[in-house]
């Protein structure tokens, strides 16, 4: 056995392919690793410059820098374990170092083809260039077991900085993930809790300092729960609806959990173009270790869609214990005992927050609702038995998930209607107990019902006016007839406000459709068929209605019109007679052009009277259709002299900001 080849483990440059080139997926993640290295190097300032014209990203810090020996032993050595060799806190600033596995720097190759490094320590200047293509060539062409790559040495005469390290990323391959300077500041700010004067660590992106406000979520927080001293965070949350709840101290394996959990005012506030803010991020030694642990929980209600938070647990990274982070440093090991304990702690806190959130939102919602004088008066006018429940219901509206204040106002408005209907139902039930001497009470109940009906109809009219205005604004002359054709037949109120609902009579519609088919096939010329868009039968308010849409460019003749509508009327009368029905008929022609002779006032009057008296027919013009409908409903408001109490409440809600 001794003559055989001994067992031997070798390291291939393929490691770089897995741990470097494919390590990260976006620019902020990569830059965060370099910022973390600057922190470990006791830097006080880091400058990140993205030059779109030169297609480069430069990261420079004023840290300790590296000697030639340190470059080889630390930076260029894959898997350099800083904790084992250097140990403890950093020398100058006594910081807890973030680096541990020595592979974060390899992430540079996931966004850049060329990496240039310049560094100066105590006057010793060094520079070198690493090329991703050359590294790949070394992997493919050198003999198996190769474990080294020699970067190209660069001149250092033009290095101007006295201390620190400068890294230039060239040949960028993911330009689209960089975005604007503002977006980059935001994403880096969200990955660190140690940026700022408090920790003597400033980071700049294109000469603009990253500040806590760049995280862009503190102002959105409505309720806040804190763990440990979070005074700086509390000051940043300018729009809190109530005092911060300071939670008791909590520990995991003797390590204190600090940070905060909060809920935003609107669920839409946790939607972000670059990040998912509906999350609880875990920070270790000031750097994000896991972007979102909230996804590990499935037992939460609506409140969870408003949640956001940051918790710091340094116990996940202790020098004497096994590292709890995965290789890419973006997630924690899920079966680690510390992770399991953290989840249990968060689970209990979520239960507490859920109950508190419900109570606080109810109180806040009721308070906000009662700030509207009309709504407050409406609630006070309710019977005592309903008043408290109405307040609670209004408060609950603020717990419902809505994307905009307008959606919540709509819910508020409908809740008022619901209570009015409830009240009306109770009043109707009480009629059985009213005797002949209580006529006044009966009249009051009828008056309340009239008020409710009037307000509801006012809402319908208001919404229809909005629909008409939207149609007028959006359709041009070329599209108008198409829009009307698709909408008109099932919304006859555009033709006559009295036709509120289309009555469904399938049997009659089938009979009339056969009549139209016969007329189209047997009695109409090709020219007449081409001049028609469509013809439909509807019934509304007890009236049988035939609507024909003429093409806008089609000019109709008086004699042809008499003949055509005469056939419609005769056919419709035969169908009704066969059913023993005596109900009114109306025929409407929707046209684009005036009939021949229309400009002559006397001839037009004779034509209209003949159509109305003998054929029960009237003509409506495309251009006038929407404006006539608008004016008909507008008259409802203009002719109405008084506004009842319920309408005042609804109007106040609609105007609520």
Distance separating the N- and C-terminal Cα atoms of the chain: 86
Residue 38 and residue 103 share a domain: yes
User: Which pLDDT score is estimated for 194?
Assistant: 93
Closest to 93 (Cα-Cα) out of 46, 41, 36, 33? 41
Residue 225 and residue 96 share a domain: no
* 8 A C-beta contact, residue 498 and residue 541: yes
- Domain total of the chain: 3
The answer on pLDDT for 257 being more than 60 is yes
User: Which pLDDT score is estimated for 425?
Assistant: 63
Q: Which of 180-184, 220-224, 380-384, 475-479 has the lowest mean pLDDT?
A: 475-479
**379: in domain:** no
Share of the chain above pLDDT 90, in %: 27
**461: in domain:** no
Cα separation, 233 vs 250, in Å, equals: 19
> Which one is predicted more confidently, 163 or 145?
163
> Which one is predicted more confidently, 460 or 656?
460
Give the tens place of pLDDT for each residue, 309-352. 999 998 777 756 666 555 545 567 778 888 888 999 999 999 99
* Helix H or strand E encompassing 448: helix 439-474
Query: For helices 337-370 and 373-381, what crossing angle results, to 10°?
Result: 80
Mean pLDDT of 443-465: 64
Mean pLDDT of 275-287: 90
The answer on pLDDT for 58 being more than 90 is yes
Kind of pairing between the strands at 532-540 and 251-252: unpaired
**654: in domain:** no
Mean pLDDT of 250-259: 81
> Which one is predicted more confidently, 402 or 248?
248
Out of 177, 209, 241, pick the residue that ends a domain: 209
> Which one is predicted more confidently, 641 or 510?
510
Mean pLDDT of 86-93: 80
* Helix H or strand E encompassing 117: strand 112-121
**649: in domain:** no
Mean pLDDT of 140-164: 79
**530: in domain:** yes
Domain coverage including residue 142 = 14-209
Residue 259 and residue 181 share a domain: no
Mean pLDDT of 75-86: 66
Share of the chain above pLDDT 70, in %: 70
User: Which pLDDT score is estimated for 175?
Assistant: 53
The answer on pLDDT for 60 being more than 50 is yes
Cα separation, 236 vs 247, in Å, equals: 19
The answer on pLDDT for 515 being more than 80 is no
Out of 209, 225, 246, pick the residue that ends a domain: 209
User: Which pLDDT score is estimated for 641?
Assistant: 47
Token pair listed for 392: 């609670």
Q: Which of 61-75, 137-151, 336-350, 370-384 has the lowest mean pLDDT?
A: 137-151
Token pair listed for 606: 């004779």
- Which of the four pLDDT bands, split at 50, 70 and 90, describes residue 386? confident
Q: Which of 248-262, 329-343, 496-510 has the lowest mean pLDDT?
A: 496-510
Mean pLDDT of 424-438: 57
- In angstroms, how far is CA 531 from the centroid of its own chain? 47
Give the tens place of pLDDT for each residue, 291-308. 899 988 876 678 888 999
Cα separation, 27 vs 25, in Å, equals: 7
* 8 A C-beta contact, residue 228 and residue 248: no
**500: in domain:** yes
User: Which pLDDT score is estimated for 176?
Assistant: 46
CA within 13 Å, CB half, 292: 12
Residue 204 and residue 221 share a domain: no
Closest to 154 (Cα-Cα) out of 183, 114, 184, 182? 114
The answer on pLDDT for 628 being more than 70 is yes
Residue 230 and residue 198 share a domain: no
Closest to 621 (Cα-Cα) out of 438, 412, 434, 481? 481
Residue 158 and residue 274 share a domain: no
Could you tell me the CATH number of the domain that includes residue 39? 3.30.565.10
Residue 570 and residue 498 share a domain: yes
Taking all residues of the chain, what is their mean pLDDT, rounded to a whole number?
78
The answer on pLDDT for 27 being more than 70 is yes
User: Which pLDDT score is estimated for 283?
Assistant: 93
Which of 47-51, 106-110, 339-343, 364-368 has maximum average pLDDT? 47-51
Cα separation, 48 vs 184, in Å, equals: 10
User: Which pLDDT score is estimated for 233?
Assistant: 92
Residue 64 and residue 201 share a domain: yes
The answer on pLDDT for 76 being more than 90 is no
Q: Which of 28-32, 286-290, 428-432, 547-551 has the lowest mean pLDDT?
A: 428-432
* 8 A C-beta contact, residue 127 and residue 156: yes
Residue 32 and residue 155 share a domain: yes
Long-range own/partner contacts, residues 505-509 (CB < 8 A, 24 or more apart): 505/539, 508/537, 508/539, 508/544, 508/575, 508/579, 509/537
Sheet with 221-227, side-by-side order of all strands: 245-247, 221-227, 258-264, 307-312, 280-284, 287-290
Give the tens place of pLDDT for each residue, 162-221. 999 999 999 987 554 567 888 899 999 999 999 999 899 999 999 999 998 899 999 999
Out of 209, 231, 246, pick the residue that ends a domain: 209
Q: Which of 75-84, 314-323, 470-479 has the lowest mean pLDDT?
A: 470-479
Residue 198 and residue 61 share a domain: yes
Handedness of CA 15, 20, 24, 25 (dihedral sign): negative
**378: in domain:** no
Residue 222 and residue 205 share a domain: no
Residue 323 and residue 237 share a domain: yes
Mean pLDDT of 114-142: 87
User: Which pLDDT score is estimated for 241?
Assistant: 92
> Which one is predicted more confidently, 528 or 118?
118
Token pair listed for 505: 């009579």
The answer on pLDDT for 600 being more than 60 is yes
- Which of the four pLDDT bands, split at 50, 70 and 90, describes residue 642? very low
**8: in domain:** no
């Amino acid at each position: 056995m001794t003559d055989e080849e001994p067992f031997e483990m070798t390291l291939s440059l393929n490691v770089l392919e897995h741990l470097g080139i494919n390590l990260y997926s976006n620019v902020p993640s990569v830059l965060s690793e370099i910022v973390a290295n600057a922190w470990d190097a006791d830097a006080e300032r880091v400058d990140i410059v993205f030059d779109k014209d030169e297609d480069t990203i430069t990261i420079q810090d004023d840290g300790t820098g590296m000697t030639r020996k340190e470059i080889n032993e630390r930076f260029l050595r894959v898997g350099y374990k800083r904790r084992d060799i250097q140990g403890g806190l950093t020398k100058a600033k006594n910081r807890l170092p973030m680096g541990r596995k020595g592979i974060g720097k390899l992430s540079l190759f996931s966004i850049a083809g060329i990496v240039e490094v310049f560094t100066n320590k105590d006057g010793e200047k060094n520079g070198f260039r690493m090329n991703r293509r050359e590294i790949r060539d070394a992997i493919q062409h050198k003999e198996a077991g190769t474990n080294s790559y020699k970067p190209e040495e660069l001149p250092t005469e033009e290095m101007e900085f006295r201390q620190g390290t400068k890294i230039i990323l060239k040949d960028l391959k993911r330009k689209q993930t960089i975005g604007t300077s503002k977006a980059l500041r935001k994403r880096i700010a969200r990955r660190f809790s140690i940026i700022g004067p408090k920790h003597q660590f400033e980071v700049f992106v294109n000469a603009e300092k990253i500040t806590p406000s760049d995280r862009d979520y503190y102002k959105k927080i409505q309720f806040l729960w804190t763990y440990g001293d979070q005074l700086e965070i509390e000051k940043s949350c300018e729009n809190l609806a109530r005092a911060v709840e300071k939670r008791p101290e909590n520990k995991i394996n003797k390590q204190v959990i600090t940070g905060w959990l909060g809920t935003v005012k609107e669920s839409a506030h946790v939607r972000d173009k670059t990040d998912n803010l509906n999350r609880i991020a875990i920070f270790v030694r000031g750097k994000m270790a896991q972007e979102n642990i909230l996804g590990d929980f499935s037992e939460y209600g609506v409140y969870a869609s408003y949640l956001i938070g940051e918790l710091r647990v340094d116990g996940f990274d202790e020098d004497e214990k096994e590292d709890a982070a995965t290789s890419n440093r973006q997630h924690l090991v899920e079966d680690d005992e510390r992770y399991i304990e953290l989840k249990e702690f968060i689970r209990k806190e979520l239960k507490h927050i859920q109950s508190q959130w419900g109570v606080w939102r109810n109180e806040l919602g009721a308070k906000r609702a009662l700030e509207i004088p009309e709504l407050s008066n409406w609630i006070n006018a309710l019977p005592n038995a309903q008043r408290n429940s109405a307040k609670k219901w209004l408060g609950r509206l603020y717990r419902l998930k809505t994307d905009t204040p307008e959606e919540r106002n709509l819910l508020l408005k409908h809740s008022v209607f619901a209570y009015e209907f409830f009240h009306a139902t109770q009043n109707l039930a009480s009629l059985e107990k009213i005797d002949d001497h209580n006529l006044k009470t009966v009249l009051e109940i009828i008056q309340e019902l009239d008020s409710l009906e009037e307000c509801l109809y006012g809402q319908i009219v208001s919404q229809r006016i909005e629909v008409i205005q939207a149609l007028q604004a959006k359709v041009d002359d070329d599209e108008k007839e198409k829009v009307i054709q698709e909408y008109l037949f099932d919304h006859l109120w555009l033709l006559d406000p009295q036709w509120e609902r289309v009555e469904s009579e399938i049997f009659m519609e089938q009979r009339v459709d056969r009549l139209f088919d016969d007329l189209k096939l047997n009695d109409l010329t090709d020219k007449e068929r081409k001049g028609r868009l469509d013809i439909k039968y509807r019934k509304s308010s007890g009236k049988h209605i035939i609507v024909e849409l003429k093409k806008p460019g089609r000019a109709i003749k008086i004699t042809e019109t008499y003949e055509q509508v005469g056939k419609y009327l005769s056919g419709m009368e035969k169908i009704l007679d066969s059913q023993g029905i005596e109900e009114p008929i109306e025929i409407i022609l929707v046209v684009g052009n005036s009939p021949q002779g229309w400009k002559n006032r006397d001839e037009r009057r004779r034509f209209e009277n003949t159509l109305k008296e003998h054929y029960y027919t009237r003509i409506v013009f495309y251009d006038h259709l929407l404006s006539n409908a608008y004016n008909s409903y507008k008259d409802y408001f203009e002719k109405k002299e008084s506004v009842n109490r319920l309408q005042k409440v609804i109007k106040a809600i609609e105007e609520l900001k």
